Amino acid sequence: MFWNNSRLWWIWLFLGGLCCPTTQLAQSAFQEEVRSYNHEQSLLRQGQAYLRAHRYEVGLEKLNQLLLEFPEHAEGHYLRGNAYYYLKQREPACTDWRKACDLGQCYGWTFATFERVCEDPS
């Protein structure tokens, strides 16, 4: 017989040698992406929880950490703007809300608050 078990084993070994490193790299990249996403969501949720508990300084620290690592996080900018607003820091609040709008997190309430607080000089 032309295809005996020995040859099949060598073919399997050869193909496994080509496929496994690629598969392992893809799996490793996927796992790293999941870890990054979980870390990002953890920081965001911690920031939200502290803001809800009226612990604005601690929430601001978590959101600062989030935005240091993920600077294009629209919801992070929006929430940090809220934290600044509650801490009576109007300028940084407006800057973050503007950035959130630029990144696509500009819904009705955000836009109305932005116009009322940031565009009104009084």
Residues 94-120: pLDDT tens digits? 999 999 989 988 876 666 777 778 876
- Cα–Cα distance, 68 to 63 (Å, whole number): 8
Q: Given a cut of 80, is residue 88 above it in pLDDT? A: yes
User: Quick one: pLDDT at residue 7?
Assistant: 64
Q: What is the pLDDT of residue 87?
A: 97
CA 51/CA 62 separation, integer angstroms: 10
- What CATH number did the domain enclosing 21 receive? 1.25.40.10
CA distance 45 to 76: 10
The pLDDT of residue 25 is: 63
Report the run of H or E that residue 106 belongs to, with start and end.
none
- pTM given for the model: 0.70
Angle at which helices 5-52 and 74-86 cross, to 10°: 20
pLDDT at residue 121, as a whole number: 57
Which residues constitute the domain of residue 40?
A: 5-119
**Tens of pLDDT, residues 8-41:** 655 656 665 555 555 666 677 767 776 777 889 9
Give pLDDT, residue 38. 84
Contacts of 110 (CB under 8 A, 6+ apart): 78, 97, 100, 101
pLDDT tens string 51-84: 999 999 999 999 999 999 999 999 999 999 999 9
Alpha carbon 31 to its chain centroid, in Å, reads 16
| 3 pLDDT higher than 90 | no
Domain tally, the chain: 1
Q: What CA–CA distance (Å, rounded) separates 106 from 122? A: 23
